[in-house]
Structure 1
Amino acid sequence: MFQSTLSRTTLATLISGVLLAGAAHAAPAAKRATGGDVLPFKATEKLLPNGLKVIVVPTGFPNLVSVHIPVQTGSRNEVEPGKSGFAHFFEHMMFRGTPTYPPEKYQEVITKAGARQNAYTSDDLTNYYTTFAKQDLETVLKVEADRFQHLSYPVEAFKTESRAVLGEYNKNSANPMSKLFEVQRDAAYTTHTYKHTTMGFLKDIEDMPNQYDYSKVFFDRWYRPEKTTIIIAGDVEPAKAIAMVEKYWAGWKRGTFKSNVPVEPAPRGAQYRHVAWQTPTLPLVTVAYRAPSFVAQQKEQAALSMALSLSFGRTSPLYKRLVQDEQKVDQLFDFTPNRVDPTLATIGARVKNPADAVMVRDAILQTVAKLRDEPVSAQELEAAKSAQKYGLIRSLDNTEAIASTLASYVHFERSYGTLNGYYRAIDNLTPADLQAAARKYLVDDSMVVTTLSHDALPKGIEQLPKLASFAPQAASAKFDVLVQKSALPQIRFKLLFAAGSAHDPKGKEGLAALTAAMVASSGSRERKIDEVTKALFPMAGSLAEQTDKEMTTFTGTIHKDNWDQFLGIAMPLLTDPGFREEDFRRLKDAQRNALVLDLKDNNEEEFGKERLQTNVFAGTGYGHPVLGTVAGIDSITLDDVKAFYAKAYTRGAVKVGISGDVSDAMTASLKAQLARLPEGAGLPATSVPKGRMPNGLEVEIVEKNTRATAISFGLPLEVTRTHPDFAALWLAKTWLGEHRSSSAHLYQRIREERGMNYGDYAYIEAFPRGMFQFFPNPNLGRKAQLFEVWIRPVAP
């Protein structure tokens, strides 16, 4: 006896398909196919007088024909209480034969034709399909017409098959994913028939052997021509194929039954359900929301599906973070099915460690909140459209695949054009459409969180946070922002934190500089640094750090046309840094090399200036280079960096400046990004370092095998910019030895008149890296300074 052994697609298999679809949605593409229909075939459609719809599609593939017969009956149509599961049950019973073709004879015909045959049931349809050699088309249409019009089975066969359905339920219920979705749907719906899965409620399945009489009623109601479409695809002549259908199917009588599927009321608030699994398995965490019904000509369902695919598919930052980088989960998926009525859009993850369940749930919710608050980039959306369209076209590589794809869309309107219309809607999606769909449907009241685990999950998993708790609190966060508007389209902003090398803990000298480097040069949690660099390259954007004694500054620069995209890539470096071990090792080595090789071994002039600072401010926070010390750098751990970051880079510690052709919206979006920083006032203020006055002339000679002998000398200076004598002393310094000034006194006397060296300059404020620059960088404010003279290399 023939049974459709492959027809009951498990939810686990379904999710695997969803994962592949997510990959197709989000994959980048250089050029998108635009315009025209996604289906290139010339279809012939005919509506028979009895309501049967026929669609014939010559595919160009030789010799084979595939017949698909989608019927508009699924578990959605099971409206009577106690009668769930019958749509799926009839997928089984349709192979139980007729008086003309009992099961054995029917199977003999199919086997003789060498046909591949099966069926499946979903929420909205049941589809029967057969693929065979083209010369057997009339035979297949004949036997199919017979079973659709004259299905007959004895009560014994009915009871046997109903017990088989119970066995199938038991099989599926042993799959954790299947059981989770059963519980999820039961929690999400109170009224609509989507409350139960295609299998039906267990109590109804157990009672099914007693429902023989009702089975006849169900078949009589739903297996009618006005609810059925015949798709004939392959090596076929449309006129002849339609004539065959008319010959065998025209006598099928139209039905009269009308069903009112109950409308689901508005969501009643966020729901949480947990499935305690009896055997060892990895935990599952899913978050679902009420999603719109499928209407080919409307954007909402396509927009929501696309938005979730971009946010949770294989190319999404969250997938990269949770699956690839942190390896907290081994599956992350999204699923927004096409359904006749409002359905559920699900985001799910299989978690490796039960202790991470709350973190994974919150990472999903945080991504949902971001999807509501920030539009996706136009570039990402265009790439996703391209991948989805090309992915579909790629799948249409044989006759059966073409017919199968058609069946999954034709059943909505019984029209060949449904799929083309849907992809036209996708073509017209904008970032605003995706954000609008997210804001409308991804809301707290419709959220259903479902978990499954064998081991206990962390406390708090049952307490569902509001999406607003994951959104940046820009309105309440106060920032000191200086806006300098100009006509320049290049936007530049600076973020200044009172966190410099003077804050380095004893024994961890270099921590402030290494932390800043880790922020600017180690990527965000979602993107590694190579991905950040690649993304910023075409827009010539950058985010660079500068650390000094008292402060660290991050400078971002970007053309205004790329502002939103830049913020989405660059600001997470600061607000959500990656802090990866491999980046830490790389940057720690680079900082040590910069101290030992670039400064101490290979730059006598800058090294001399640093030694002067160290000798004058020994014992204070200014008593070591900003880069740190060898011992200090060697002792720093990644945990040290994380702890310093958490204390130093807070909302209360940042001062902001922005310049260029800046709009109010730009300033607001920058504030919104900064609102993602941790709360806090920042590091405590440092004391004013007191420089050591020399007792007479003190000389330190650093012997090196080099022709470049540089001299730096000076003494501590109480005069800073707040001192009343600062302006006068600045003028005196300018006369004596302005940096790079050939008219200053020292330069004229030592170089010009005596020809002793390269240059001679004087300073009352620190000028690090002066040998490379004409002007000092901004944001080098210090609480204590030196009067310093720099004699550039003289002959030994």
Structure 2
Amino acid sequence: MSASSLVRRLAAAGALAALSVALAAPLAFSPATPALAVEKGVFFPETFTLSNGMQVVVVTNRRVPVVTHMVWYRVGAADEERGVSGIAHFLEHLMFKGTDTVPAGAFSRIVAKNGGRDNAFTSWDYTAYYQNVARDRLELVMKMEADRMSNLRLTDQVVYPERDVIIEERRQRIENEPADRIGEQVNATLYVHHPYGTPVIGWPQEMSTLTREEAERFYKTWYTPNNAILVVAGDVSAEELKPLAEKYYGTIPARAVPERTRVQEPPISAARRVILRDDEVRQPSIRRNWLAPSYRTDKDGHAYPLEVLSEIMSGGPTSRLYRSLVVDQRVATSAYLGYSPSAWDVSSIGAGATPAAGVPMDKLESALEAEIQKVVEKGVTEEEVATAKKRMLAEAAFARDSLTGPAQALGAALATGQTIDDVENWPVRIDAVTADQVNAAARAVLGKTNHVTGLLLPLQDKGS
């Protein structure tokens, strides 16, 4: 795991973007992305709302004549109706299939011809489309993105071959990858009722029956300007962008959007275990996940302390887990504890490790459990907290300089119920965390016994 919450956020956003149209794969933990530190007076975000309800955020960065243009929809895989899993990601693919003015496949070709690059990604809570282009090509991509927001044209001839594409992607990226398969199964076992337990790409038996009509219905239900956020970062100001936003997005009529309602997880008191054995496993591993609050669902004030705890446990070669399991005991080659609080609903926190050569999995599991129990029972020190916060805040300040990072961080935050103030005040809230708060959060979350343990093992390994 990365050292700071900010870096984890930017890394998560970047990883999703890389998967892009090809696949928005399930993450090991719940939808990631903590807050971004944006210093006032440097890259201070400006915001305004169009008459049709579309929120616009601008982060000015004059260092190079380039902009990142992103449209985020407040809809993802967790908003799908039961029985049509994967429809959000499928529609992401289909958004590149053209309108009356931009034929199928032409969108990306036009962006590339003009020296830019584009892509898209889907998570449980949002779907986003982006282009990185020179400043003087901004109007071009705004025009095309606004066009497909309301004028997508789907036919059987483009829809069903693309359905075959996503089915093949699932086969290659998940079904042929044991590490992804165990992650999918652990996630489905952790979220027994909530839709976060359903993979973003969908379950195979449902993907194979997705129809053009279902894709069109999903599009017409959720893809509307009042359910979207436009984020533009780079060599442009809000004053410069507003006329363009009004010209291209402001003319699209708003439509009523369903309320975002999700079922809640039932109380579960039993520990659960998932074991996957496969001939393709070259590196066995263990992971353990607990449900944890997100920023939005954090009633007890545990989210920011859990971020600091994650840094203490997993923030580099001096962190607790690495020092104990890898350096001192030599039972592991890697170890982590990761937490991602940016989700619309309940999130999760997870720990894991890979064994050193010749170390039995039961020995590694005992060592990992001992470190978790140690922090639950004995807690962390004020010195550990102070050191962790210093690293997190330093890295947040450094990451602020990225062009795409602020756009990704702000979009993900706004799409999962946070505000710009929440994003800006992340450093203040992290800096205010105390050791007592970290220890209370550790006891409340890691002290639970309803976790899920996943073991990934070679087929011939009989040791677990």
Report the TM-score, using the length of structure 2 for normalisation: 0.87
- Give how far 1:296 is off: 9.6
Deviates more, 1:170-179 or 1:297-306: 297-306
1:445 aligns with 2:449: yes
Check conservation: 1:172, 1:179, Cα contact below 8 A. Answer: no
- Residue 443 of structure 1: SS of its match in structure 2? coil
In the alignment, the residues of structure 2 paired with residue 295 and residue 346 of structure 1 have an alpha-carbon distance, to the nearest angstrom, of 19
Which residue does 1:147 correspond to in 2? 148
Query: Cα 1:56–1:172, aligned 2, differ >3 Å: closer, same or farther?
Result: same
- Residue 433 of structure 2: SS of its match in structure 1? coil
1:427 aligns with 2:437: no
Q: How many residues align?
A: 437
Query: Cα 1:215–1:275, aligned 2, differ >3 Å: closer, same or farther?
Result: same
Which residue does 2:324 correspond to in 1? 321
In the alignment, the residues of structure 1 paired with residue 216 and residue 26 of structure 2 have an alpha-carbon distance, to the nearest angstrom, of 29
Amino acid at match of 1:412: T
Which residue does 2:247 correspond to in 1? 247
Check conservation: 1:302, 1:426, Cα contact below 8 A. Answer: yes
Gaps of 5+ in 2: 1-16
Check conservation: 1:381, 1:430, Cα contact below 8 A. Answer: yes
Query: Cα 1:354–1:177, aligned 2, differ >3 Å: closer, same or farther?
Result: farther
Amino acid at match of 2:143: K
In the alignment, the residues of structure 1 paired with residue 89 and residue 358 of structure 2 have an alpha-carbon distance, to the nearest angstrom, of 35
Check conservation: 2:74, 2:127, Cα contact below 8 A. Answer: yes
Query: Cα 1:355–1:215, aligned 2, differ >3 Å: closer, same or farther?
Result: same
Larger radius of gyration: 1
1:379 aligns with 2:403: no
Which residue does 1:301 correspond to in 2? 303
- Give how far 1:221 is off: 1.3
In the alignment, the residues of structure 2 paired with residue 360 and residue 9 of structure 1 have an alpha-carbon distance, to the nearest angstrom, of 31
Query: Cα 1:456–1:438, aligned 2, differ >3 Å: closer, same or farther?
Result: farther
Which fold has the larger relative contact order, with Cα–Cα distance below 8 Å and residues 6 or more apart in sequence?
A: 2
Query: Cα 1:263–1:280, aligned 2, differ >3 Å: closer, same or farther?
Result: closer
Which residue does 2:398 correspond to in 1? 394
Which residue does 2:230 correspond to in 1? 230
Check conservation: 1:410, 1:418, Cα contact below 8 A. Answer: no
- Give how far 1:325 is off: 4.2
- Residue 413 of structure 1: SS of its match in structure 2? coil
Which residue does 1:332 correspond to in 2? 335
Which residue does 1:51 correspond to in 2? 53
Check conservation: 1:42, 1:57, Cα contact below 8 A. Answer: yes
In the alignment, the residues of structure 1 paired with residue 298 and residue 51 of structure 2 have an alpha-carbon distance, to the nearest angstrom, of 27
Which residue does 1:341 correspond to in 2? 345
Query: Cα 1:136–1:9, aligned 2, differ >3 Å: closer, same or farther?
Result: same
Query: Cα 1:9–1:331, aligned 2, differ >3 Å: closer, same or farther?
Result: farther
Identity between Structure 1 and Structure 2 (%): 24
- Give how far 1:331 is off: 2.4
Which residue does 2:169 correspond to in 1? 168
Q: Deviation string for 1:507-552 (max 9, x for gaps)?
A: xxxxxxxxxxxxxxxxxxxxxxxxxxxxxxxxxxxxxxxxxxxxxx
- Give how far 1:5 is off: 6.9
Which residue does 1:575 correspond to in 2? none
Query: Cα 1:404–1:203, aligned 2, differ >3 Å: closer, same or farther?
Result: same
- Give how far 1:140 is off: 1.1
Query: Cα 1:74–1:38, aligned 2, differ >3 Å: closer, same or farther?
Result: farther
Query: Cα 1:250–1:222, aligned 2, differ >3 Å: closer, same or farther?
Result: same
2:180 to 174, 178, 181: 178
- Give how far 1:354 is off: 7.0
Check conservation: 2:86, 2:202, Cα contact below 8 A. Answer: yes
Which residue does 2:11 correspond to in 1? none
> Structure 1 segments of 4 or more deviating over 4 A?
9-12, 35-39, 456-459
- Residue 307 of structure 1: SS of its match in structure 2? helix
Which residue does 1:732 correspond to in 2? none
In the alignment, the residues of structure 1 paired with residue 436 and residue 144 of structure 2 have an alpha-carbon distance, to the nearest angstrom, of 51
Check conservation: 2:59, 2:406, Cα contact below 8 A. Answer: no
- Give how far 1:270 is off: 0.8
Q: Deviation string for 1:317-359 (max 9, x for gaps)?
A: 3312322344432221222122111122111112245752112
Query: Cα 1:39–1:437, aligned 2, differ >3 Å: closer, same or farther?
Result: farther
Amino acid at match of 2:291: R
Amino acid at match of 2:230: I
1:193 to 192, 195, 199: 195
Check conservation: 2:331, 2:359, Cα contact below 8 A. Answer: no
- Residue 451 of structure 1: SS of its match in structure 2? strand
In the alignment, the residues of structure 2 paired with residue 184 and residue 436 of structure 1 have an alpha-carbon distance, to the nearest angstrom, of 26
Report the TM-score, using the length of structure 1 for normalisation: 0.52
Query: Cα 1:57–1:228, aligned 2, differ >3 Å: closer, same or farther?
Result: same
In the alignment, the residues of structure 2 paired with residue 451 and residue 259 of structure 1 have an alpha-carbon distance, to the nearest angstrom, of 34
Which residue does 1:495 correspond to in 2? none
In the alignment, the residues of structure 2 paired with residue 185 and residue 6 of structure 1 have an alpha-carbon distance, to the nearest angstrom, of 19
Gaps of 5+ in 1: 23-34, 462-796
In the alignment, the residues of structure 1 paired with residue 98 and residue 446 of structure 2 have an alpha-carbon distance, to the nearest angstrom, of 47
1:206 aligns with 2:198: no
Which residue does 1:64 correspond to in 2? 66
Check conservation: 2:296, 2:418, Cα contact below 8 A. Answer: no
Query: Cα 1:94–1:243, aligned 2, differ >3 Å: closer, same or farther?
Result: same
